[in-house]
Structure 1
Amino acid sequence: MTEADDVIIDGDLPDAPPAAAERSVSPHLAALGQKAKDYARNARAENTRRAYESDWRQFSSWLRRQGLPAEPPDPQIVGLYLAACADGKKGGASAVSVATLERRLSGICWRYRQLGEPLDTSDRHISTVLAGIRRAHGRPPVQKEAIFADDLRAMLAVLDNDLRGLRDKAMLAIGFAGGLRRSEIVGLDCGPDQTEDGSGWIEIFDRTTATTGDERAPSAATSDGGLLLTIDGKTGWREVEIGRGSSPATCPVAMLETWMRLGRITHGPLFRAITRKNGGVGAERLTDKHVARLVQRTALAAGVRGNLPEGERKLAFSGHSLRAGLASSAQIEEAHVQRHLGHASAEMTRRYQRKRDRFRVNLTKAAGL
């Protein structure tokens, strides 16, 4: 993006001669400026953008306390900030993890790029400090507990069969069977191009039979149908197929159909809030935080991982528990799981697999020992 583009996005025009400056901005250019800002805003997922904005606010607050300027970007100052975060603050706040620190640096870089003043993270004041922090404080990431099929059945059983319960059952089942992120669950619409804030839509297919073309010949294949999700996720657009289950009580598609029928959901957001006034279905889309709270609440109520201390159990589950549960439970080729989850690499998929057949490939014996 050029310097002129940056200025237009900010809503102004580049410096011009006095005669030109006196002319007002045309409605067409003003509309293009607003459209450009909208496109720039959509360059990042909403959750990522909120996180980056929070990172910048924390960095700006630290700069003000130290009496340091925010501009122009100074790698040495950023290196000092990283060291301060890694060591904690005098006020008693705990030090942040390496993963959080790397995310904060990404947020700072993102903000400086928006200002047209890129930050050079390869500068030794940043790269060397960050490498030292990783070496001193780095540790394996803390993973949330996975929700397996038996766990999910127990969680579904603790929910009521009112509208709220039927909605939550459908969310849990679809989230698990689709291996979806929590934002992908609540971002679903009933169809394409129905809302501006939607990030995907659904299509429900009935049982179908594919024939050979000869009416006398037996059918070539029979499908029970299912649910097709078209999702705009972190790695771009992907399609997710969710087949019908063996029992209506545990079938994600049947649960979704029940919720849509009784909730009269035919257009717009798929999962919506229940109104407090009359207990009916509202028009407002649920937030991704609802998914996290739902997983935590039902997992605790169902006694999932009851062997853990109570304090640990409260922190053991999140929206990603559903995604990790599918990745760990599906007994199929890893490539299928990777494609289903929308991962860019097989290594990322393996991070989600809490249990798998370790040592199935024995390189020691294969090498002759």
Structure 2
Amino acid sequence: MASDPTGTLRPSPALPDHQPPALRDLAERARSYAEAASSANTRKAYAADWKHFAGWCRREGLDASVPDPQAVGLYITACASGAKSVGGRKNAVSTIERRLSALVWAYTQRGLSLARRDRHIATVLAGIRNSHAAPPRQKEAILPEDLLAMLETCARGTLRGLRDRAMLLVGFAGGLRRSEITGLDAGRGQTEDGRGWIEVLPAGLLVTLRGKTGWREVEIGRGSSAATCPVAALETWLKLARISQGPLFRRITGQGKEPGPLRLNDREVARLVKRAADAAGLRGDLPEKDRPALFSGHSLRAGLASSAEVDERFVQKQLGHASAEMTRRYQRRRDRFRVNLTKAAGL
């Protein structure tokens, strides 16, 4: 890997022109495989982190190309303390840990090694965690009654409303991430940027996804009512939008009358959830300015985990979690105070 003057990581240069064409083709293919090893969002975040570090090094007169644990220790100290050299803003512990991971990854791509366990890094990071770590700020879970209210805000007589209803219901029932929702195609192998596809079966919807740990299947059964059935909502969207090929969820064009060819950006899922939650009056007990921060695309995923009254292992499988502990982090209110140890102890 190499970097441009801004510090952004770029793929390694191609083989010289005098090399056989077959080797140049293999080099191009190798670069595409290397990029496929991580998601586009991860690469984008890592590139931004490297640029941030490289800029700090320039301002401090340090060489970013050399993996110096002492320099990295000073860098994460600057990030934690909000030094002027990093913009004067304190970074959260999770942000600092991600920046450190980005540096390790970047140096590895260059054939170098950053000793993360070196005392200049490990000890400083431990101190940062002890001094600045805070409980995670989880987004509010969208529970079934919340979802029903949100669906009523989606106009049934418009393509946009039908699309939004299908996205909310499929995202909730599948426990899908926002990138998984917008990355779906109408069939297998239809686009290069697709992250999966759907198959409509008599008993429900089979979703095949390419995730962080490989391919997995998600089963979305038909609902008890046509008004709240995710499969019925999706079938209606596909029929009226006349979609049988390519991206499943698309932008609406032609003054709201035609689906465009382009796939929705995954940020649109978060915007939809926030917009529908606000229109439905969710958490109306809070000031209006505080409500948008409560909800995100993950609120649908957390809602399924928090409301599905089934064995935890089925929820874990649906969400694609490697451990039950991760699944429990998504369960917001379902189990709160269900087991009362105070009364169980006789008080």
TM-score (structure 2 length as normaliser): 0.92
Give the equivalent residue in structure 1 for 2:331: 353
Give the equivalent residue in structure 1 for 2:77: 83
Q: How many residues align?
A: 336
The amino acid of 2:66's aligned partner reads: P
Greater displacement, 345-354 / 272-281: 272-281
Give the equivalent residue in structure 1 for 2:20: 26
Question: What is the Cα deviation at residue 358 of structure 1?
Answer: 4.4
The amino acid of 1:146's aligned partner reads: A
Greater displacement, 44-53 / 255-264: 44-53
Give the equivalent residue in structure 2 for 1:218: none
- The structure whose Rg is larger is 1
Matched, 1:275 2:253: yes
Quick one: percent identity of the two aligned structures? 62
Give the equivalent residue in structure 2 for 1:157: 152
The amino acid of 2:196's aligned partner reads: G
- Kindly indicate whether the alpha-carbon contact (under 8 Å) linking 2:83 and 2:89 is maintained by their aligned counterparts in 1: yes
Give the equivalent residue in structure 1 for 2:180: 184
Q: How do residues 237-252 of structure 1 correspond to structure 2 at under 5 angstroms?
A: 237-252=215-230
Question: What is the Cα deviation at residue 234 of structure 1?
Answer: 2.1
- Kindly indicate whether the alpha-carbon contact (under 8 Å) linking 2:14 and 2:28 is maintained by their aligned counterparts in 1: no
The amino acid of 1:240's aligned partner reads: V
Unpaired segments of 5 or more residues in structure 1? Answer: 2-8, 14-20, 207-224
Deviations along 1:96-124, one digit per CA (max 9) or x if unpaired, are 11111111111111111111112110111
Question: SS at 2:188's partner residue?
Answer: coil
The amino acid of 1:232's aligned partner reads: R
Q: How do residues 51-130 of structure 1 correspond to structure 2 at under 5 angstroms?
A: 51-90=45-84, 93-130=88-125
Classify 1:301/1:93 alpha carbon distance in 2 versus 1 (closer, same or farther; 3 Å). farther
Distance between the aligned counterparts of 2:220 and 2:90, measured in 1? 42
Distance between the aligned counterparts of 1:315 and 1:360, measured in 2? 27
Question: SS at 2:137's partner residue?
Answer: coil
Give the equivalent residue in structure 2 for 1:37: 31
Pairing partner for 2:165 from 150, 156, 169? 169
Give the equivalent residue in structure 2 for 1:336: 314
- Kindly indicate whether the alpha-carbon contact (under 8 Å) linking 1:11 and 1:30 is maintained by their aligned counterparts in 2: no
Question: What is the Cα deviation at residue 277 of structure 1?
Answer: 5.5
Pairing partner for 2:269 from 287, 291, 297? 291
Classify 1:275/1:350 alpha carbon distance in 2 versus 1 (closer, same or farther; 3 Å). same
Classify 1:148/1:361 alpha carbon distance in 2 versus 1 (closer, same or farther; 3 Å). closer
Pairing partner for 2:12 from 10, 21, 30? 10
- Kindly indicate whether the alpha-carbon contact (under 8 Å) linking 1:11 and 1:33 is maintained by their aligned counterparts in 2: no
Question: What is the Cα deviation at residue 365 of structure 1?
Answer: 9.8
Distance between the aligned counterparts of 2:284 and 2:337, measured in 1? 29
Distance between the aligned counterparts of 1:359 and 1:289, measured in 2? 34
Pairing partner for 1:138 from 111, 133, 138? 133
- Kindly indicate whether the alpha-carbon contact (under 8 Å) linking 1:156 and 1:169 is maintained by their aligned counterparts in 2: yes
Deviations along 1:168-220, one digit per CA (max 9) or x if unpaired, are 110011000000000000010111111111111100011xxxxxxxxxxxxxx
Classify 1:277/1:153 alpha carbon distance in 2 versus 1 (closer, same or farther; 3 Å). closer
Greater displacement, 237-246 / 273-282: 273-282
Classify 1:330/1:76 alpha carbon distance in 2 versus 1 (closer, same or farther; 3 Å). same
Classify 1:187/1:358 alpha carbon distance in 2 versus 1 (closer, same or farther; 3 Å). same
Matched, 1:260 2:238: yes
TM-score (structure 1 length as normaliser): 0.86
Distance between the aligned counterparts of 1:12 and 1:100, measured in 2? 33
The amino acid of 2:204's aligned partner reads: G
Question: SS at 2:240's partner residue?
Answer: helix
Tell me the C-alpha RMSD between the 2 structures: 2.2
Unpaired segments of 5 or more residues in structure 2? Answer: 2-10
The amino acid of 1:54's aligned partner reads: A
Distance between the aligned counterparts of 2:290 and 2:212, measured in 1? 29
Question: What is the Cα deviation at residue 45 of structure 1?
Answer: 1.2
Distance between the aligned counterparts of 1:364 and 1:114, measured in 2? 54
The amino acid of 2:95's aligned partner reads: T
